[in-house]
Structure 1
Amino acid sequence: MSETVKLIGCFGSTAVHRAEVALRLKGVPFELVVEDLTNKSDLLLTHNPIYKTVPVLLHGDRPAVCESLIIVEYVDEAFDGPLILPSDPLDRAAARFWARFLDDKCWKAMWVALWTAPGETQAAWAREAKENMTLLESQLPEGKKFFGGDAIGFLDIAVGGIAHLLGVFEEIAGVRLLAEEDHPALCRWAREYLSDETVRQCVPDRDSVMVALAARKELYVSIAKTMAAQK
């Protein structure tokens, strides 16, 4: 398809990273429109009036596609190129399940563990986060580099934020969640993921990310308090 493709995103977002990796894996030329989420543009509000957040994919004159994993699936189906989702229906279902597990369970526990003050509550969330990562790690095929096998696939893209941003969050928060001694396979996967040529194009300079995310620390602490209260 030759229609113009735009991705509305922002700097340092794991969700935007997913959409960008999918587009680059498919070889889709696109324009990245960087959004300031503290002063949301009419473009964003028009195309995502429900959640008013990024990423948003604009493909020609079609209605906008919102939500990162939905965008990844749309890109896989709408454009030619290597498959992102597995070809087998059962494998596709499993990839979707574990991606949802990551978003619903893993990130919540990691987030609260990172941004909660030290103590029993923080320790409990850290244990849950590590247990969840152990479950996620068990999905790595033995002898393969990625969750998708020998090539990056849907679940790799979903988990990609652990590879390129969790370490930054850990450094800012002063909390260690992902360690070689506890999760060697997941750490190996993270190195393989970040060394991929396509992924490297979607990972910004670490120092720049550190500065940008450190400035949001108070916001992250506030979000963690809200998330913890909802358990």
Structure 2
Amino acid sequence: MAELKLIGAKYSPFCFRLELALKLKGIHEYEYLEQDLINKGPILLHYNPVHKKVPVLVHGENPIIESLAILEYIDETWPSSPSLLPKHPYPRSQARFWAKFADEKCAPGAWDTYWRLKGEKKDKAIEVAMERFEHLEKLIQGKKFFGTGGDDNDDEQGEGRVERIGYLDLVLGWIPLWVEVMEEIGEMKLLDPHKFPGLCRWGHKFVEVPVIKECLPSRETLVQYFTIATPMMRAHFT
């Protein structure tokens, strides 16, 4: 295997999903290069001079940027089981659709509620974020995990498939812990278990999977980081 480096930040949910993908694939020999998201280092600027953002996966000397693209790269470069994306075209296209929806609508919506101080704009942002989470609640109904199937022996109808963690679970993996911390520091509630029972059940199961528990930053550490960083972040984003 060519030299592998992951340029990231342990508090970033977009980097967290890639650590999970590598470990699910059984890839443990890689170098993790922690970055300061405020004062960006030369290695990040070298490998991602366009966006200057984490994460970046460097395989050999080839940089791959954008976490969704990196997830697919990992899946295709190390195709041994477990696969992350479904094998068949239709469920594969659906996984990609919902991943894009999550990254372009759900994550920004949740962050928007967090940055805003109390008031009418914050209330409206919470309403919008919850409307977006409702789509995920419908999607998880009747399932243990979002990423089902994907094995070589699955047929087109998915008969005999085993529910397990896949691509979309990794994309949504920020929800259980990061949203909880946002709720605490942002003094709000986004994921009420009565309104989102399926999504909350999924979150509890997801973080209890051993490989995920191993990668997950502690809640206390994340709270401490966001408490310190929040004033600066709010000044930058508002």
TM score, norm. by length of structure 2: 0.89
Which consecutive residues of structure 2, in runs of 5 or more, have no partner in the other structure? Answer: 149-162
Match in the other structure for 1:192? 205
Q: Does 1:34 align with 2:34?
A: yes
Match in the other structure for 1:94? 94
For residues 151 and 97 of structure 1, the distance between their equivalents in structure 2, rounded to whole angstroms, comes to 19
Kindly report the root-mean-square deviation, in angstroms, between the aligned alpha carbons of the 2 structures: 1.3
For residues 23 and 13 of structure 2, the distance between their equivalents in structure 1, rounded to whole angstroms, comes to 15
Q: Does 1:205 align with 2:225?
A: no
Q: How many residues align?
A: 222
* Counterpart AA for 1:16: C
Call closer, same or farther: CA 1:152–1:208 in 2, change over 3 Å. same
Q: Are 1:141 and 1:147, in contact at CA under 8 Å, matched by a contact in 2? A: no
Match in the other structure for 1:7? 6
2:232 aligns with one of 216, 219, 230: 219
In the TM superposition, residue 11 of structure 1 has moved relative to its aligned partner by 2.2
1:76-121 per-position Cα deviation (integer Å, ceiling 9, x unaligned): 0001331101111111111111111111111222212222122222
Call closer, same or farther: CA 1:93–1:219 in 2, change over 3 Å. farther
1:167 aligns with one of 167, 180, 190: 180
In the TM superposition, residue 141 of structure 1 has moved relative to its aligned partner by 4.9
Match in the other structure for 1:129? 129
1:22-57 per-position Cα deviation (integer Å, ceiling 9, x unaligned): 111111122211111222221111100011111110
* Counterpart AA for 1:72: L
Moved over 6 A (4+): none
Match in the other structure for 1:229? none
Match in the other structure for 1:147? 146
Match in the other structure for 1:44? 44
Call closer, same or farther: CA 1:151–1:121 in 2, change over 3 Å. same
**Identical-residue share of aligned pairs (%):** 37
1:199-225 per-position Cα deviation (integer Å, ceiling 9, x unaligned): 112101211111111111123324553
1:52-78 per-position Cα deviation (integer Å, ceiling 9, x unaligned): 1111101123x2001111111100000
Call closer, same or farther: CA 1:127–1:223 in 2, change over 3 Å. farther
For residues 194 and 15 of structure 1, the distance between their equivalents in structure 2, rounded to whole angstroms, comes to 16
* Counterpart AA for 1:27: G
Match in the other structure for 2:138? 138
Which consecutive residues of structure 1, in runs of 5 or more, have no partner in the other structure? Answer: 226-231
* Structure 2 residue matching 1:82: 3-state secondary structure: coil
